A and B are shown apart, each in its own frame.
Chain A
Amino acid sequence: MHLKYFLKLSPVFILIMLAFSACKKDNQSFKYDQINDIKITDATTSFTVAQRDSLIITPTLTQTMPESDSFTYSWKLDTPTDTTTIAKTKNLRIKVTLSPSTYQVVYKVTSKKNGIYTLKRYTVVVTGIYPDGWYIVNNKDGKGKVSLIRTDDVIFDNPMEVANNKTYPGKALALYNFGKGGFFYYFSDQNVYRFNMNDWLDLGDKSSILPGLATPLPFKTAPVFMINNLQFEQYIVADGNLYVGLSGANSDNVKPFTQRIPGNYNLFPGIFPADYSMTYFYDNNTMSFMQMPYLSRILDRAPATPLTTNSFDMANVGKKMIAYDRGVTTLSQEGIEWYYIMEGNDGRYLLSLTGDGNSTHPGINQKMDSSPEIGSATNFATSSILKQLYYTAGNNVYLYDILAKSARLIYTFPTGYVIKDIEMKRSTSKQLVIGVNNGSAGEVYYFDINAQGEFNNGTYTKKFTGFGEIMQIAAARQNLSM
């Protein structure tokens, strides 16, 4: 009887037992300890440092219980591809070897006592060691070099030799840096070199850049280099011959130049990217413009352009090119306006090509009358904001007013000085840089330009000496694509 009842009730009993065992009272007797609260309280979390300079970050730590704790530290890069630990010290003190770019660095302070950690993110911008300024291509004691006057007026005498720990023989001729592609070219009379524009590391010479050079070395005249507006193509004109190579966003994409582009021509050393697709050249044999579209290797005569008053026919200019410079320039449409000095039978002329991003056409064609010494002038620089042009003859600097068609003397260097090159600071057109040789000693002068185009206070604002015989002044530019 009892057993029967028990069997009947047993499931109920089991369920009740299960219910009892399912819940258990928790005493909730936690033990609370105070922990050391660490904070990194730096106001400055962004640092800019030049490559190969020292990066020093000294974080400020505040703690609520400093006496009882000790820490481990780590500094880690935080990029999608690189999370390297760069230091394990409280303060960061390293020589920067990273490529120029912007980096995130995560600083981690971990308590040795309980493993609790605090993080802080810093932004580090690494710039090129030689970012901006002016290159002075010069020859000293028979050897070529390129010096740099940085924007902070620090002079680097021969950075290419310092960066590469080797010598570059031959006489310096020219340097071209367009702030594109991450590289620049240096021509000596014996060779051509490509350098990384940020750190000046050597990226190759003629054997890999211009293996098909058609003329024997040394170069008779300074070659020119230019990248087209779309950055797809590079051009070199050397001793009248054209060479073309594929370009790209950085030096890894750069390919060797072609052999000489076939054809019957003798190009003036100048390359004129005009609109997005077309680049122009000038043939001093036929005294006419030539053209090459991008991704083509055919150099053709420019088509005839209709003659209008004070203009010219690109296919038949009939004058010899002497010099050129840019006019209006913007970042995206760099070659929208070009000015040319041409020698006609009856004197010198100023011509221009102008246009928008899609087409180019002849602009002005005017004789440079009322312009003292224009027939013997050797250097020209145009303004991108005023219709003005500077030219030099011997030790004199003249300002030519394009609209008034006349020039006036604005500066004279001492007797015995010869002006070798003048260059406009293209980004502002407010600074003219002049390289002058006094015998074999080169000097560089900065002139600030006022609203009328003349020199502020009639004289220079800065003077740099100690160079060899100057061959060229060129703008040092950062890589704009970065």
Chain B
Amino acid sequence: MKYILYVTMVFTLFSCKKEAVETYQGKDGVSFFAYTYQQLHTTATRSYSFAFQSTVKTRDTMYIPLRLTGKLSDQPRTVLLKTAEGTTATAGVDFELKEVTIPPGVYIFNYPLVLINSVGMASHVYRIVLEPAETKDFTLGTLGQTPATNTVQTEENFRYLKIDVSGMYIRPAYWDLLDADFGEFSAEKYKFMVKILGITDFSYENIGSDGLLNYPVTLRNALAAYEAANGPLLDENGQEISFP
């Protein structure tokens, strides 16, 4: 009897206990990040050409969105990208990858990839395939798509990002959206567009829907004026340039 009472009292004292909430345990991760509509997923290629810049550049920086998975930190952390299989560009010659510090509390971050206008760029298109490298703070992050909600678009974490870089007039990836309104890409057409419109980036993000619709009108008028004075404008393949 005595012992039952003692045991009951002891149990009474310890009967309630605060339950700990399970939290993610493990090393935080990092991956490439894009909204699906941007088509920057695993199979898509981003492109950059020194020929498309408004001024002659020896180096330029391409910003690559990364997303962190795991816990936010109140301390600065470091992230690093490395090259993966398929890379034809040479580190240190055509591009530079550096360990970069991420500010505290940040979960989406633009990694600065430094591109170098090397001698080879004038006649080559180099490919850089990137993936997140293991650092003291991060491993490879969680991959996959997040379905769209009413307020958030479908977004994607992915492991490999392909970038084509050159000093030549290579057809930019964004031209897919321009085909219908601007017609086929050619280096001479691009130069004509830069001359008439005074801009070098014709991506939809830069020119908007009104640029997509209205710039071809300006170009058709300018081309008509050019042709009236000089005859047809030919591209690098001898084809007559036109805007649909």
Contacts and interface: CB of A to CB of B under 8 A. Distances in A.
A246 interface: yes
B39 interface: no
Contacts of A255: 208, 210, 214
Interface stretch (B1-9, B61-69, B138-146): B1-9
Interface in A251-304: 255-262, 295, 297-298
A8 B2 contact: yes
B213 interface: yes
A302 B77 CA distance: 64
Contacts of B213: 244, 246, 258, 295, 297
Contacts of B209: 246
Interface in B178-227: 208-210, 213-214, 216-218, 220-221, 224
Nearest to B208: A255
Size category of the A interface is 20 to 34
B217 A11 contact: no
Given A262-B220, A297-B217, A11 B6 contact: yes
Contacts, number: 46
A227 to B, nearest CB: 15
A297 B2 contact: no
Contacts of B220: 262
A181 interface: no
A245 interface: yes
A249 to B, nearest CB: 14
Contact residues of B: prevailing secondary structure: helix
B210 A246 contact: yes
Contact of A258 (B5, B6, B208, B214): B214
B212 to A, nearest CB: 9
B90 to A, nearest CB: 44
Contact of B221 (A14, A15, A259, A295): A259
A218 interface: no
Interface residues of B, number: 16
B210 A256 contact: yes
A212 interface: yes
A244 B9 CA distance: 86
B221 to A, nearest CB: 5
A262 B224 contact: yes
A295 B213 CA distance: 7
Nearest to B3: A11
Contacts of B6: 11
A56 interface: no
A12 B5 contact: yes
Interface string B1-35: 01001100100000000000000000000000000
A262 B217 contact: yes
Interface string A1-41: 00000001001101100000000000000000000000000
Nearest to B211: A255
B2 A259 contact: no
A19 to B, nearest CB: 13
Nearest to A261: B217
A260 B210 contact: no
Given A8-B2, A11-B6, A11-B9, A245 B210 contact: yes
B82 to A, nearest CB: 43
A34 B221 CA distance: 84
Contact of A259 (B5, B208, B217): B217
A296 to B, nearest CB: 8
Interface of B: 2, 5-6, 9, 208-210, 213-214, 216-218, 220-221, 224, 244
Closest 6 CB pairs of A and B: A255-B210, A11-B5, A258-B217, A258-B214, A246-B210, A262-B220
26 contacts: A11-B2, A11-B5, A11-B6, A15-B5, A212-B218, A244-B214, A246-B213, A246-B214, A255-B208, A255-B210, A255-B214, A256-B210, A258-B213, A258-B214, A258-B217, A258-B218, A259-B214, A259-B218, A260-B217, A261-B217, A262-B217, A262-B220, A262-B224, A295-B213, A297-B216, A298-B244
